[in-house]
Amino acid sequence: MRLHLIRLLSIVFFAIVLVSCANRGSPSGGEVDEEPPVILSASPENFSTNFKADEIRIYFDEYIKIKDLRKQLIISPPMDTEPDIIPLGGASKYISIKIKDTLEPNTTYAFNFGESIVDNNEGNPYPYYRYVFSTGDTIDSLSVKGYVEDALLEKPDTFVSVMLYEVDSTYSDSIVFKEKPRYITNTLDSVTTFSIDNIKAGTYKLIALKDKNGNYKFDQKDDKIGFKESFITVPTDSIYPLTLFKEKVNFKAIKPKQDGATRIIFPYEGDYESMRIKVLGDTPEGYQTRIVKDELTDTLYYWYKPQFEVDTTFFVVTNEKYVDTFKHRFRKLEEDSLEIKKISKGTLNFDQDIIVEGNLPLTEIDRSKIKLINKDSLDVDFEIKYDSILNRYTFPIKKEEGEKYSFTMLPGTFSDFYGGTNKDTLIFNARTRLKSDYGNIRVNIRNAKFPLIVQLVNDKGDVLYERYAKDSPVVDFTNLEPKPYSLRVIYDTNGNGKYDTGNYLLGIQPERVSYSPPIEEVRASFDFIIDFTLLD
């Protein structure tokens, strides 16, 4: 009995020991480190005056990394030669900034790191660290504050550069195209406000730039710009709003290229509507041309007949005051045969129609070779409209709910610029849904000043539905696809029926745009009424 008890106690003892060892050996994980790194010191010290060093070191209490430095770091005033900064791609207990540029005398410089400094283990950011020094006796301490809006979008872009150009004897409005600003800051990824700090008293031009190339210069083709019309004087207590907009690009023709046996592509930038293309020199007898625009790209297709017998010729491209001449070398390429395709969707809304386009310029259509029937095989009447710029035929019809339509187009229905026709029978089908599958919105505009452009847009600002209000404050949108929309109004100041953007050099701000408060998601078989009060 006693022996049995001793054995039992031994087993219990060893079990306790094993459990104890297991507990000691199992990691608990501990609390997650949520504290940012701590700065121990800087050499030279932050906010130093009479700065003459060529390297700055900032020491931390733990290993740190730098992430998104190109996006996050703002140096004001900008340096022509960027400094070397480490660590990049590794970890260190200090940041080294080696200055490569010649510093201006009596100038306050600021390095704003945003949230790029993070600890090595958990990635906790040191928030918005600024290292400031002056090459003179004092640190400039004045500020300019404001916020950024977008002319068309409900929310502006993130990381917008906001800049001050000093207005002195060298200043001109074109400086934004050629030189970096005197001072600069950046809106953050989640806010629209800005504060340009550590600036000296003076007169400045205030500019906002969505700087795609990151060079602190305005590139009209790629960048958005916003500006304060008048100069500002610092010190100031004003809060400055800046509206970002994309300028209408100045016209520029780009070298043409042979793209088919008798087709040349003419790329361009800007507005093509006044663009004209002419041959400089002799052309073949009976020479004819047709021009078609690409729907998606800034390209015109220049079709011609007959072919040139020479190897090269010259084209003159004009657009109002613009003139450019291009030497073109012809290439021998295969000829295309006519193809017709439907570009409209299979399911049509009640304001949509069947649309077809050709790969060659179309010249004629034989209505007698077209038959349109519904699902009961009954003939349906149709119209024919031709868009010569996009080379498309549209077939408007009176659409019924829950209907199916079938177009049959026999060989020879379409004729092209070169005398060819479609060789095969074409069949294009479409259908409509029930009106109960859609929703409707009535907008009651309060405090309206006509004319107005009323739009329903998606979350990217793309226009999905549009109405033009000349005199009535009641605007109806019917048969809407069930989905979320945003409602906005454009104040059509010049009454031309379209949105007009601004122009920096001309000092023109874009037409005003107002978004309504968020509206309820459109649902099928629902009628929504929205009261939208516009501000003065």
Residue 269 has what pLDDT?
A: 97
**CATH number of domain containing 214:** 2.60.40.1120
- DSSP 3-state assignment of 517? coil
CATH number of the structural domain spanning residue 481: 2.60.40.10
Q: Are residues 291 and 325 in the same domain?
A: yes
At residue 367, what is the residue type?
R
How far apart CA 288 and CA 310 sit, in angstroms, is: 17
| Residue where one domain finishes, among candidates 310, 329, 348 | 329
Query: Looking at residue 71, what is its pLDDT?
Result: 85
Q: How far apart are CA 240 and CA 232, in angstroms?
A: 10
| 423 and 445 belong to one structural domain | no
For residue 19, being part of any structural domain is answered with: no
453 & 513 share domain = yes
Q: Which amino acid is at 230?
A: S
Contacts of 271 (CB under 8 A, 6+ apart): 248, 251, 319
Residue 276 lies in a domain: yes
Q: Number of folded domains in the chain?
A: 5
Taking the C-alpha atoms of residue 310 and residue 331, their distance in angstroms, rounded to an integer, is 11
From 410, 433, 456, give the residue that closes a domain: 433
pTM: 0.86
Please indicate, yes or no, whether residues 447 and 460 belong to a single structural domain of this protein.
yes
Asked if the structure places residue 53 within a domain, the reply is yes
Q: Determine, yes or no, domain membership for 15.
A: no
- Residue 85: which CATH number? 2.60.40.1220
User: Looking at residue 20, what is its pLDDT?
Assistant: 44
Domain assignment of residue 405, yes or no: yes
Claim to verify: residue 150 and residue 225 sit in the same structural domain: yes
Residue that the structure tokens 């309820």 belong to: 520
Tell me the pLDDT of the chain averaged across its residues.
Answer: 93
Which domain does 307 fall in, by range? 252-329
Which whole-number Å values give the CA distances from 404 to 374, 435, 439, in the listed order?
Answer: 5, 14, 21
For every residue of 220-265, DSSP letters joined together read TTT-EEEE-SS-EEES---EEEEEEBPPPPPPEE---EEEETTEEE
Decide which of 433, 456, 481 is a domain's last residue.
433
121 shares a domain with 148: no
Q: What is the pLDDT along the chain (536 residues), one digit of tens a residue?
A: 444 444 544 444 444 444 444 444 444 455 666 789 999 999 999 999 999 999 999 999 999 999 988 888 999 999 999 999 999 889 999 999 999 999 999 999 999 999 999 999 899 999 889 999 999 999 999 999 999 999 999 999 999 999 999 999 999 999 999 999 999 999 987 789 999 999 999 999 999 999 998 899 999 999 999 999 999 999 999 999 999 999 999 999 999 999 999 999 999 999 999 999 999 999 999 999 999 999 999 999 999 999 999 999 999 999 999 999 999 999 999 999 999 999 999 999 999 999 999 999 999 999 999 999 999 999 999 999 999 999 999 999 999 999 999 999 999 999 999 999 999 999 999 999 999 999 999 999 999 999 999 999 999 999 999 999 999 999 999 999 999 999 999 999 999 999 999 999 999 999 999 999 999 999 999 999 999 999 88
β-strand 252-253 against 288-293: which pairing, if any?
Answer: unpaired
Instruction: With residue 9 as reference, give the H or E element that holds it.
Output: helix 2-25
Task: Establish if 27 belongs to a structural domain.
Answer: no
pLDDT score recorded for residue 462? 96
- Same domain (yes/no): 239, 147: yes
Same domain, 237 and 256: no
Residue 334 lies inside a defined structural domain of this protein: no
Q: Please tell me whether residues 427 and 441 are part of one structural domain.
A: no
